[in-house]
Structure 1
């Protein structure tokens, strides 16, 4: 991340230099918060594997919004671009996506995260039980994560998405369709994706049932 990419472009202005330092500190806090959550997820997954003989997490992805994305969303949502108030208004600056294999694993991971004494769940949106109109399914959590600074502890928000491999496969294609320009028959393709979302959901449920049967017979 270079100074040229930051939404502060007046290096000779002391006020701008202070804003630049504030922005760098803000980004450092988000990177630290993501590392805290990632470490917890890795540990919880390894602990689950010891207890149950198989893992919860298939893969893990993380990202910090770019300065351009933050500024674009702030303008689109008519938010004040203020380094003190922005974190309270925009909760998805830092994001982690947990990909699991089965629908049961979504709630299993959520339960383990919410039991962490130093993490607080601020918001929960269950798009698995109640999918979006376009067919999107995923569990979204906004977490308050402690980051230890020289001045003390600060709570930083991190958005966590938990979804199955099948949900992620579908969401990746839907995202590509939404952000690609000049796609012919876009409306037709969108309707087809909505229909396929139901097939993906049915597949998830079928595979979850087969998994439960295998493990039930294994434990007999």
Structure 2
């Protein structure tokens, strides 16, 4: 889980730097808030068992995609895409999966 923790912390750091750069260079700042979370070892073990996943690194990485998460809150929808573009254009950021709940909201109305 250290790999996920370090990856999550690196993204949070990048977002804080982007937020500070926007504040210095522009009149507005698209990043309102950054939050992160790491799945607890107990929760991860329960999910591995529930999914019937082998307890190997490759299997866990392929089957469980929510071990770590970072959420960025923006004031405007257009800001979401701006932050996404700036973050994913960085050489050392690899995009694994995109779920655009703005274009296709969840059944409960959640958009992100």
Is this a same-fold pair by TM over 0.5?
yes
What is the aligned partner in structure 2 of residue 42 from structure 1?
Answer: 16
1:59 maps to 2:29? no
What is the aligned partner in structure 2 of residue 100 from structure 1?
Answer: 74
The CA deviation at 1:32 is 1.1
Q: 1:64-79 residue pairs with structure 2 within 5 A?
A: 64-79=38-53
State the secondary structure of the residue aligned to 1:85: helix
Q: 1:10-21 residue pairs with structure 2 within 5 A?
A: none
Relative to total residues, which structure has the larger strand share, 1 or 2? 1
Question: Take 2:109 and 2:74, find their aligned partners in 1: how far apart are those partners?
Answer: 19
CA RMSD of aligned residues (A): 1.4
State the secondary structure of the residue aligned to 2:36: strand
Q: Which runs of 4+ in 1 moved over 3 A?
A: none
Unaligned 5+ runs, structure 2: none
Larger Rg: 1
Higher relative contact order (CA 8 A, sep 6+): 2
TM-score by length of 2: 0.89
Unaligned 5+ runs, structure 1: 1-26, 139-220
Aligned length: 112
What is the aligned partner in structure 2 of residue 119 from structure 1?
Answer: 93
Question: Take 1:94 and 1:109, find their aligned partners in 2: how far apart are those partners?
Answer: 19
Superimposed CA distance per residue, residues 138-187 of structure 1 (whole angstroms, 9 cap, x where no aligned partner): 1xxxxxxxxxxxxxxxxxxxxxxxxxxxxxxxxxxxxxxxxxxxxxxxxx
